[in-house]
């Protein structure tokens, strides 16, 4: 968990999570046209205009929850989709699922957290809707909020491995062994 405290890690984690969740939503949006899916309280009438990446950055900036909450929120989203297969993640419900999963994980993990009204403001929804989303999310999870250390570390390892792939590969400069060799290389380049 100490690696999550590194200030360089969270932007990469947010970038990867947003990319992953956007791909899942796009895939499910396409399959939604083919098969009917259940509409839930998480579905909006239209797609939100804010990107998933910007939305996650907004949540991270204003929620002030521990970085571990984002890993646990991802665990919760994964559980939710497995327990509620008729409610796949789509571009119409992803924003509401994200704000709800982060809020629930902060309440479960952190000693100090904001109330639902504050999370509603962060999420751009009303307090009554936030309350309803939380309740529906908890029932959808079967109130199974515990994340074992093994599960946490498995998800964290996956996310860490994937975010490492986002790092640019360092380019090492060619170093001449001595000045004679260096001047010989420069002469060859001049020819």
What is the rounded distance in angstroms from the CA atom of residue 57 to the CA atom of residue 17?
A: 11
What is the CATH classification number for the domain harbouring 123?
1.10.472.10
Q: Tens of pLDDT along 9-28?
A: 788 888 888 888 888 888 88
Cα of 191 vs its chain's centroid, Å? 53
Q: Which residue has the higher pLDDT, 9 or 109?
A: 109
Q: Count the neighbouring beta carbons within 10 Å of the beta carbon of residue 121.
A: 14
Q: Tens of pLDDT along 32-76?
A: 654 555 667 777 777 778 989 999 999 999 999 988 999 999 999
Q: What is the pLDDT of residue 166?
A: 52
Provide the domain count of the chain: 1
Q: What is the pLDDT of residue 176?
A: 42
Q: Which residue has the higher pLDDT, 19 or 6?
A: 19
Q: Which residue has the higher pLDDT, 186 or 18?
A: 18
Q: What does each C-alpha distance from 135 to 41, 45, 59, 85, 124 come to in angstroms?
A: 10, 20, 20, 18, 18
User: 3-class SS at 173?
Assistant: coil
What is the rounded distance in angstroms from the CA atom of residue 128 to the CA atom of residue 120?
A: 9
Of 38-47, 132-141, 148-157, 173-182, the poorest mean pLDDT is in: 173-182
Residue entry with tokens 């993640």: 89
Q: Which residue has the higher pLDDT, 1 or 27?
A: 27
Q: What is the pLDDT of residue 4?
A: 60
Is the Cβ–Cβ distance between 80 and 140 less than 8 Å? yes
Q: What is the pLDDT of residue 120?
A: 95
Residue entry with tokens 């899916």: 37
Q: Which structural domain, as residue segments, surrounds residue 158?
A: 2-190
189: pLDDT strictly greater than 70: no
1: pLDDT strictly greater than 60: no
Q: Which residue has the higher pLDDT, 85 or 127?
A: 127
Q: Tens of pLDDT along 140-154?
A: 999 999 999 999 999
What is the rounded distance in angstroms from the CA atom of residue 120 to the CA atom of residue 131?
A: 9
104: pLDDT strictly greater than 80: yes
What is the rounded distance in angstroms from the CA atom of residue 36 to the CA atom of residue 38?
A: 7
pTM of the model: 0.78
């Amino acid at each position: 968990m100490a690696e999550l405290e590194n200030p360089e890690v969270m932007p990469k984690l947010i970038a990867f999570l947003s990319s992953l969740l956007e791909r899942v939503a796009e895939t499910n949006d396409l399959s939604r046209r083919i098969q009917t899916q259940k509409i839930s309280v998480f579905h909006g009438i239209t797609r939100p205009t804010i990107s998933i990446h910007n939305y996650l950055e907004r949540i991270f900036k204003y929620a002030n929850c521990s970085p571990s909450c984002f890993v646990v929120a991802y665990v919760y989203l994964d559980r939710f989709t497995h327990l509620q297969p008729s409610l796949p993640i789509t571009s119409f419900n992803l924003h509401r699922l994200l704000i709800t999963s982060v809020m629930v994980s902060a309440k479960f993990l952190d000693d100090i957290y904001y109330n639902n009204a504050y999370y509603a403001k962060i999420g751009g929804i009303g307090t009554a809707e936030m309350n309803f989303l939380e309740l529906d999310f908890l029932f959808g999870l079967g109130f199974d909020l515990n994340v074992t250390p093994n599960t946490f570390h498995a998800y964290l390892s996956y996310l860490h491995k994937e975010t490492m792939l986002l790092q640019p590969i360092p380019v090492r400069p060619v170093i001449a062994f001595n000045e004679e060799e260096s001047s010989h290389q420069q002469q060859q380049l001049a020819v």
